[in-house]
Amino acid sequence: MVAVMKQMGRPPEHETRVTFAEFRPCERLTLTHVIDFLPDVKPYESTIVVEFFSAGEFVRMVVTLDPMHDEGFTKMSADGFTSQLTKLDKRFGPKSRDESTQPVVGRISTMSVGSGVER
């Protein structure tokens, strides 16, 4: 992602502002992200909803992102977010019995952009 941003002539990092709009422990987290860092794009808000569903000893996490101002940035946002989520797979994903006695947490199962379009 850093390489893509550099190719586009954009900084690879920027400050961001997020508000916790809803917090229901172990159920739902809603974040409102202010998109005010893109040149020539009027600032707007984008919502990220994270829902957690218990499934025995596993938890299913569903992430829904609002579409951005155009398809290219929506794809870049989803790809970047997916990349971040895979770090959870590495941290909490299945381990051999020799490595840990903790239960397997499982793989992130669903991410969508907009109204239920699964990625």
Q: Smallest Cα–Cα separation from 32: which of 17, 10, 42?
A: 17
- Measured between alpha carbons, how far is 75 from 59 in angstroms, rounded to an integer? 26
pLDDT digits (tens, 9 = 90+) for 4-48: 667 767 776 767 789 999 999 999 999 998 988 888 889 999 999
- What was the pLDDT predicted at 29? 95
Q: Is the backbone of residue 96 left (phi > 0), alpha (psi -120 to 50) or beta? A: beta
pLDDT digits (tens, 9 = 90+) for 80-102: 888 888 887 777 766 544 444 33
Give me the sign of the Cα torsion angle 119, 111, 8, 3.
negative
Query: What predicted TM-score, i.e. pTM, was given to this entire model?
Result: 0.66
* All structural domains of the chain with their residue ranges: 2-94+105-118
Quickly count: other Cβ atoms within 10 Å of residue 64's Cβ.
Answer: 19
